[in-house]
Structure 1
Amino acid sequence: MADEFVVTPWRVEGKIDYGKLIERFGTSPIDDELLQRIIQGAGAGHHLLTRRIFFSHRDLDKILDDWEAGRGFFLYTGRGPSGPMHIGHIIPFYFTKWLQDRFGVNVYIQLTDDEKFLEEERELTLEETRRWARENALDIAAVGFDPDKTFIFQDTEYIKNMYPLALRVARKINFSWVRAVFGFDMQTNIGMSFYPAIQIVPSLFERKRCLIPCAIDQDPYWRIQRDIAESLGFYKAAAIHSKFLPPLTGPVGKMSASQPESAIYLHEDEKSVRKKIWKAYSGGQPTAELHRKLGGNPEIDVAFQWLYFFFEPDDEKLKKLEEDYRAGKILSGEMKLILTEKVLKFIEEH
């Protein structure tokens, strides 16, 4: 069936219907009124918002209420350090930086080296996840966060400071609850069933409302947080959810480290970048002659979708690319070359 897709913190499969996902997760769409409130508060728009890449939320309206009332808020996001970072990983950090720049708020970035060690199917040692945490931290810092308002930490190093609060959180959560939310079974190690308490803690670092920019697959953690936060004397976390940058292999699922050809990594060499993008899934016709006659479909063309998501922030230029591709004036190979140059420039500057 067309609606048979899977979205969990560990698995994203199938062609995702984001409207149905909002219904399934019980989140709210970012409507035009809320979008205008964000733009007004920030003093500017961002194409990740106006193009509805960030499309769903929990209590974003309350974040803006607090901001307008002078109470402020803080940002919390993170990264599971299981390997090198690709472009899909880093885009949410650029949006988080934009929020920090526009609102002047603190940002907490959690590197979950403990969680990635506990995910047994990854077969990573603790030494490996700790090393990846340090390397990923450098890539995240390169985004350009305000050093005076940003705290990047890895769990295994900062756990002493988090553990007392993690215990208070854990006492509120029973195994039946995490099993229902995350699908744990009797074979799941007990570290994984405790881990949600660790991931909830940074949302309680300040006595203000917390806004979490993240991909929507991470939402289950915040459902639990929202059910217990007030009983601990804290605010329910708010969240703003992004769609997934489609993999190079086609408009289904998300990029995966188990499929290196599906992603572009931040430290990838030029030859590899060019080769991967050239092989990317296309929305064009079988031949150039037919494409000139019938045009292409930008909705499934991965090169265009990457431009739409992140690499062409100018709306007028993007509209022209879309129109020319539909009309057959731009071939799929030409679209890929446009993307390639932008990706290479991004990697060089990052």
Structure 2
Amino acid sequence: MPKTKIDPWDFHDIEDYRNLFSEFGIGSFEKFRSKLSMNRYIRRGIIFGHRDFDRIMDAIENKKPFVMMTGLMPSGRFHFGHKMVADQIVFYQKMGADIFVCSADIEAYCVRGISLEIAREIAINEYLVNYVALGLNLNKTNFWFQSNYVVPYYRFRDMLSKRVTLNELKGIYGDISPGKIISVLTQSADILHPQLEEFGGPKPTIVPVGADQDPHIRLTRDLAIRFQSEFRLMQPSATYHKFMRGLQGGKMSSSDPKSYIALSDKPKGAIKKIMNAKTGGRATVDEQRDMGGVPERCTVYDLLFYHLIDNDKELMNIYEECKSGELICGECKAKCVDIMIKFLDKHQKRMEKAKTLVNEYLSKNGYN
């Protein structure tokens, strides 16, 4: 039995991601790093694992059709933890992928108790607006709400239930409610339906996820095999990225505003969160100068590492200055604040322009 617990609905800290290779059969992403080094998440090992990425790499290199599919959970404000997936969507769109993005409003309703109206508002104003501000071309994106889509999708979702058993779902997820069963089947349909004939037929599909979503990926890959004779489905591929810690340590969660910086946060609020963030510093300045800090434990360094500094040499200088004691936490926080405020200022100006583009897209596609 695997020692590492991963649950799509209940966060468990993963101490060593390498354990997922042997325990769950996830492959190391190492061999793709040099080919895709232009991507910061890949270059820095944040994207650490995969299932069947070779076929996606082949599609990219040979300019073959492929799909990138992801879902958004409309449960709260869009923060830097969510930005990781948004950046990957934009990256794959630039690599030539046909982009499919769904709002998991049915799952939000069934599992999290969020009304469809509120889920819709969050999906539009928090997610789509930020996606566009970060570079997504909505006019080349297939977007839908799980609650309001097309007949072939719903027919396919219902058909999936024929080849999965309740005992199998219990074995994968443990305690599972009717609402979670609906969510699981709907998510499998989200991932697989771009391969239906109505959407262009079978093609490689990449799904970027956190490690906690692997149970969904494994079930969906199994269902693709079980329905090959009827739909000629290819097993979807997946990449796995590391979790970004919350600013207080532990989970970064939309339900805990102190754990994250939202991309719509006002500068004053963002500064306060950074200045109160957990670091890898010592008890006193003298100890820090003498012993050095521990950037691996620092959530401020995480912000720089994951998002705010793209230049590897600049980042390494900060890392080494911290380790040597030359840079103390207050100085590092001030540096992070400066970069963060500049980022938020530019991004929020783009958000204002993005709102118009999103409204135009929704109107054109019958969602307004």
TM-score for both structures, normalised by structure 1: 0.89
Q: Look up the match of 1:13.
A: 12
Aligned equivalent of 2:206, options 183, 186, 211: 211
| Higher alpha-carbon deviation: 201-210 or 109-118 | 201-210
Deviation at 1:172, TM superposition (A): 1.7
SS in 2 for 1:83: coil
Q: Look up the match of 2:350.
A: none
Q: Look up the match of 2:319.
A: 322
Q: Look up the match of 2:64.
A: 71
Deviation at 1:125, TM superposition (A): 2.5
Deviation at 1:117, TM superposition (A): 0.9
1:1-350 correspondence runs (5 A):
6-14=5-13, 16-31=15-30, 33-36=31-34, 38-39=35-36, 45-101=38-94, 103-119=95-111, 122-135=112-125, 136-158=127-149, 160-185=151-176, 188=177, 190-204=178-192, 205-206=194-195, 207-232=202-227, 233-250=232-249, 252=250, 254-350=251-347
CA contact (8 A) 2:65 2:98 kept: no
For 1:283 and 1:116, locate their aligned partners in 2 and report how far apart those are by CA, in whole Å: 35
For 1:329 and 1:265, locate their aligned partners in 2 and report how far apart those are by CA, in whole Å: 30
Matching residue's letter, 1:279: N
Q: Could you give the per-residue CA deviations for residues 98-133 of structure 1, whole angstroms, max 9, x where no partner exists?
A: 1221x22211111101101111xx442332223222
Residues 167 and 15 of structure 1: CA distance in aligned 2, closer, same or farther (over 3 Å) = closer
Deviation at 1:159, TM superposition (A): 5.3
Matching residue's letter, 1:97: V
For 2:167 and 2:343, locate their aligned partners in 1 and report how far apart those are by CA, in whole Å: 45
SS in 2 for 1:286: coil
5+ residue gaps in structure 1?
A: none
Q: Could you give the per-residue CA deviations for residues 234-277 of structure 1, whole angstroms, max 9, x where no partner exists?
A: 10000011101111112x3x201232211111221111111111
Residues 108 and 322 of structure 1: CA distance in aligned 2, closer, same or farther (over 3 Å) = same
Matching residue's letter, 1:72: P
For 1:342 and 1:162, locate their aligned partners in 2 and report how far apart those are by CA, in whole Å: 43
5+ residue gaps in structure 2?
A: 196-201, 348-368
Residues 4 and 197 of structure 1: CA distance in aligned 2, closer, same or farther (over 3 Å) = closer
For 1:157 and 1:331, locate their aligned partners in 2 and report how far apart those are by CA, in whole Å: 52
SS in 1 for 2:33: helix
Q: Could you give the per-residue CA deviations for residues 154-198 of structure 1, whole angstroms, max 9, x where no partner exists?
A: 11121545201112222222221222112234xx2x232122221
Residues 346 and 100 of structure 1: CA distance in aligned 2, closer, same or farther (over 3 Å) = same
For 1:258 and 1:66, locate their aligned partners in 2 and report how far apart those are by CA, in whole Å: 38
Residues 226 and 14 of structure 1: CA distance in aligned 2, closer, same or farther (over 3 Å) = closer
SS in 2 for 1:220: helix
Residues 140 and 163 of structure 1: CA distance in aligned 2, closer, same or farther (over 3 Å) = same
Aligned residues: 334
CA contact (8 A) 2:245 2:299 kept: yes
Give me the identity figure in percent.
28
For 1:13 and 1:225, locate their aligned partners in 2 and report how far apart those are by CA, in whole Å: 22
CA contact (8 A) 1:4 1:14 kept: no
Q: Look up the match of 2:361.
A: none
Backbone CA RMSD of aligned residues? 2.0
Deviation at 1:282, TM superposition (A): 1.1
Deviation at 1:70, TM superposition (A): 4.9
For 1:147 and 1:126, locate their aligned partners in 2 and report how far apart those are by CA, in whole Å: 22
For 1:15 and 1:240, locate their aligned partners in 2 and report how far apart those are by CA, in whole Å: 16
Q: Could you give the per-residue CA deviations for residues 35-66 of structure 1, whole angstroms, max 9, x where no partner exists?
A: 23x42xxxx52121011000000000122234
CA contact (8 A) 1:108 1:150 kept: yes
